[in-house]
Amino acid sequence: MSWGYDKDNGPDTWPNLFTAARGHKQSPVDLNTNWIWYDQELEKRPLVISYQQEPSLYIENPGLSFKAHITANSTISGGPLGNDTYRLIQFHFHWGPDDASGSEHTVNERSYPCELHLVHYNATKYKSFAEAVSQSDGLAVIGVFIKTGPRDHEGFKVISDNAQKVKCRGNKLNTGVPFNPEVLLPGDTTKYWTYEGSLTTPPCNESVIWIVLQQEITVSTGQLQALRNLCCDECGSKRIPANYRPPLPLGTRKIAASFP
Ligand code: 1SD
Ligand code: ZN
């Protein structure tokens, strides 16, 4: 049986199969604002997000999520990333069956209905994502919380309008629509929490500098429903289950904030 989110193959079982998942720098975590440390250095060295337009957004239903592949030279640097530049390779989402849960990170134990992950690899030090994924400074993931509201989110439309075209596991689509991933970011990207963690899915490598933005974005309930309608099988009858890993212990790690 392969890993998943059901009772017999879900997050509780991953440590039995993947050594890294037994580690002490696992993700996600609860962002407890009472314990977070304000790091003034982060304010002095701003996080620079330079995303470029994809000529045609390429999307995929890999079975347990919704993923978009990135081809343009979109990068991030600064903030907690030292002197290295990290290149965006893909983004994907985690969600729940209703608005009560869905995000992987939580804030003071509160969940959001959905969380966007923009996955970057260290392009200064490594040739590819594959090479970077097992290095402690290999990856940087930006997490964006998503809540629901009455209005459609303009930038999310390409995703929600095309999701049903990749309804079944294995479906892939070149949308033909130009898309700049920056439209999925909140207005203020200067406020974030950062800590050292892992991939939140097997093999759970501890190779991720997490940057979780404090400001969320809002999509309509219908738009989030487009993700919830995706199927995890080829015939299109079984919905993707809640695909979030619950928070793991922070241990001796520290979470830093870029704002007081
Ligand atoms: O869940 C994703 C997984 O789908 C894959 O994209 C991986 C990178 O290879 O990253 C994890 S996550 O940690 O960004 N959730
Ligand atoms: Zn993710």
Q: Whose CA is nearest to atom 13 of ligand 1?
A: 199
Nearest ligand 1 atom to alpha carbon 198:
13
Structure tokens at 109: 């134990």
Q: What angle do CA 81, 44, 213 make, to 5 degrees?
A: 55
Rounded (10°) CA dihedral 137, 139, 142, 143: -100
Beta-bridged to residue 58, according to DSSP, are: 69, 174
Provide, rounded to the nearest whole percent, the portion of the chain with pLDDT above 90.
Answer: 98
Q: Which of 103, 104, 93 is nearest to 59 (CA)?
A: 93
**Per-residue pLDDT band at 1 (split at 50, 70, 90):** confident
Q: Which SS3 state, helix, strand or coil, does residue 255 take? A: coil
Q: How far is CA 203 from CA 3, 22, 63, 123, 152, in A?
A: 10, 10, 16, 21, 35
Question: What are the pocket residues of ligand 1 if the criterion is a CB atom closer than 6 Å to any ligand atom?
Answer: 65, 92, 117, 119, 141, 199-201
Nearest ligand 1 atom to alpha carbon 141:
14
Instruction: State the distance from the centre of ligand 1 to the C-alpha of 182, rounded, in angstroms.
Output: 19
ipTM for this prediction:
0.95
pLDDT for 4 equals 98
Q: What is the pLDDT of residues 191-215, one digit of tens each?
A: 999 999 999 999 999 999 999 999 9
When the pLDDT of each residue in the chain is averaged and rounded to a whole number, the result is 98
Instruction: State the distance from the centre of ligand 1 to the C-alpha of 103, rounded, in angstroms.
Output: 14
Q: How far is CA 104 from CA 19, 72, 113, 116, 245, in A?
A: 21, 27, 10, 10, 6
Nearest ligand 1 atom to alpha carbon 65:
4
With a cut of 90, say whether residue 235 has pLDDT above it.
Answer: no
Hey, which bits of the chain come out as E strands?
30-31, 37-38, 47-50, 58-60, 67-69, 75-78, 86-95, 106-107, 114-122, 139-149, 172-174, 192-197, 208-213, 217-220, 256-257
Probe ligand 1: pick from 119, 135, 141, 245, max atoms within 8 Å of CB? Answer: 119
- The letter for the amino acid at 128 is S
CA atoms of 234 and 250, how far apart (whole Å): 37
User: Which ligand minimizes its atom distance to the CA of 65?
Assistant: 1
Provide, rounded to the nearest whole percent, the portion of the chain with pLDDT above 70.
Answer: 100
Probe ligand 1: pick from 128, 201, 230, max atoms within 8 Å of CB? Answer: 201
CA atoms of 100 and 89, how far apart (whole Å): 30
The pTM assigned to this predicted structure is 0.98
Q: Whose CA is nearest to atom 15 of ligand 1?
A: 200
Q: Whose CA is nearest to atom 3 of ligand 1?
A: 201
Q: What is the pLDDT of residues 12-71, one digit of tens each?
A: 999 999 999 999 999 999 999 999 999 999 999 999 999 999 999 999 999 999 999 999
For range 1-16, the mean pLDDT? 97
Q: Considering Cα of 132, then 133, then 136, then 140, what sign does the dihedral take?
A: positive
Instruction: State the distance from the centre of ligand 1 to the C-alpha of 151, rounded, in angstroms.
Output: 29
With a cut of 90, say whether residue 237 has pLDDT above it.
Answer: no
Q: Considering Cα of 203, then 205, then 244, then 229, what sign does the dihedral take?
A: negative
Nearest ligand 1 atom to alpha carbon 139:
8
- Pairing between strand 86-95 and 114-122? antiparallel
Probe ligand 1: pick from 87, 105, 114, 200, max atoms within 8 Å of CB? Answer: 200
